[in-house]
């Protein structure tokens, strides 16, 4: 188990995670980040913001980044 | 701990909307209750167990939860002093979920035999207990709508407003403030969200001037707007005094 911190960036706004989540491994943290990014992207989509980025730290070290951008190509 | 203190929140809650006479209350107060303390995260009753007693939550917060095979946990309900979260075990032998202490808890164990005798002798109390399990189901219906349909801010708002109302009935609020000893991860398990989404939703509700969650204390800043956002109507709690 390790503690992962998920910092969220949406446009210019950054929300730092000071509490973190206890997870089994980096793979579980990736899945968690994808789930969060997808849900937040859906919520943002209703307001016209299309990009979500989550920077994940394992303990205090940067571990990985997930970014998600929703594009609609209308026919 | 004296008998009146053990059952104080339960009696307060039961008397809030029901007609119990003094003999009913005395019968509750004289139940044989064994008091035990639990540490946070300790299981009070586990999935699959066959309990011979029901748990009265005297102090602290507890949750009912179900964990899937791949380790995902869904918190099903949050419990506060005065609740008997496993009243169902009186008639359903095997537990189909866990009851877990969220904080340090004081729990009173009431033997099923004593509860059966109580409801046979005192129909008023039998009706109140029956009603209690029906309200429990009404709360589950709202919980399902919450996790299945509401957007994250409405979900969180709904959970907060329900807890505020329930805590108010047992005298555990200070105006629109109350203690909510839940981590962002535990709130996530209750709301069907991720911890990062919970963190962001809390920030948004704060920025919108609706709700402040800080150091495990909740302060409702604008109740009317929060109710509107949550689509909250406390009728399903069936706790009106009229």
pLDDT digits (tens, 9 = 90+) for A15-50: 999 999 999 999 999 999 999 999 999 998 888 777
Q: Give the N- to C-terminal CA distance of chain B in Å, as an integer.
A: 34
Confirm whether B68 is domain-assigned: yes
Contacts of B200 in chain A (CB under 8 A): 8, 15, 40
Predicted ipTM of the assembly: 0.92
Looking at the predicted structure, is the pLDDT value of residue A60 above 90? no
Q: How close is the nearest chain B Cα to the Cα of A40, in Å? A: 7
Looking at the predicted structure, is the pLDDT value of residue B51 above 60? yes
Looking at the predicted structure, is the pLDDT value of residue B114 above 80? yes
pLDDT in tens, B174-203: 999 999 999 999 999 999 999 999 999 999
For B148-166, b where at least 16 C-beta lie within 10 A, e where not — what string? Answer: eebebbbbbbbbbbbbbeb
Q: Cβ of A17 under 8 Å from any chain B Cβ?
A: yes
* B27 and B105 co-located in one domain: yes
* B205 and B124 co-located in one domain: no
Confirm whether B228 is domain-assigned: yes
Domain count, chain B: 2
* B129 and B155 co-located in one domain: no
Asked if A36 and B183 come within 8 Å (Cβ–Cβ), the reply is: no
Q: Cβ of B196 under 8 Å from any chain A Cβ?
A: yes
Alpha-carbon gap, residue B228 to B230, rounded angstroms: 5
- Region B34-48: mean pLDDT is 95
- Region B16-44: mean pLDDT is 91
pLDDT of residue B202: 96
pLDDT of residue B2: 86
Looking at the predicted structure, is the pLDDT value of residue B70 above 90? no
pTM for the whole structure? 0.93
Of B71, B105, B139, which one is at a domain's C-terminal end? B139
Computed over every residue of chain B, the mean pLDDT equals 93
Q: How close is the nearest chain A Cα to the Cα of B194, in Å? A: 6
Range of the domain at B201: 151-237
pLDDT of residue B14: 86
CATH number at residue B183: 1.10.10.10
Looking at the predicted structure, is the pLDDT value of residue B242 above 50? no
* 3-state DSSP helix/strand/coil % of chain A, to nearest 5: 25, 45, 30
Asked if B195 and A33 come within 8 Å (Cβ–Cβ), the reply is: no
* B31 and B129 co-located in one domain: yes
* B135 and B163 co-located in one domain: no
């Amino acid at each position: 188990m390790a503690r992962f911190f998920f910092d969220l960036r949406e446009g210019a706004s950054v929300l730092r995670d000071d509490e973190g989540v206890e997870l089994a491994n980096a793979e579980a943290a990736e899945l968690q980040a994808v789930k969060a990014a997808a849900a937040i992207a859906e919520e943002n989509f209703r307001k016209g913001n299309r990009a979500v980025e989550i920077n994940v730290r394992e303990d205090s070290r940067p571990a990985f980044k997930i970014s998600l951008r929703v594009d609609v190509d209308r026919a | 701990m004296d008998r009146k203190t053990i059952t104080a929140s339960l009696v307060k809650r039961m008397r809030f909307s029901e007609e119990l006479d003094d003999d009913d209350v005395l019968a509750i107060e004289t139940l044989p209750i064994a008091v035990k303390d639990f540490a946070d995260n300790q299981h009070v009753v586990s999935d699959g167990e066959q309990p011979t007693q029901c748990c009265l939550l005297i102090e602290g917060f507890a949750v009912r939860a179900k964990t899937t095979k791949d380790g995902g946990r869904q918190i099903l309900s949050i419990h506060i002093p005065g609740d008997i979260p496993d009243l169902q075990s009186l008639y359903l032998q095997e537990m189909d979920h866990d009851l877990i202490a969220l904080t340090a808890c004081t729990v009173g164990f009431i033997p099923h035999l004593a509860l059966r005798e109580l409801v046979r002798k005192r129909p008023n109390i039998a009706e109140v207990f029956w009603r209690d399990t029906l309200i429990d189901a009404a709360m589950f219906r709202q919980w399902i709508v919450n996790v299945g349909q509401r957007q994250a801010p409405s979900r969180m708002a709904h959970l907060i407003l329900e807890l505020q109302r329930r805590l108010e009935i047992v005298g555990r609020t200070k105006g629109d403030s109350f203690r909510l000893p839940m981590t962002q991860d535990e709130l996530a398990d209750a709301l069907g969200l991720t911890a990062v989404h919970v963190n962001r939703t809390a920030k948004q509700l704060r920025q919108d001037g609706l709700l402040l969650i800080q150091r495990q204390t909740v302060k409702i800043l604008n109740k009317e707007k929060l109710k509107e956002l949550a689509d909250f109507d406390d009728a399903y709690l069936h706790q009106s005094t009229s």
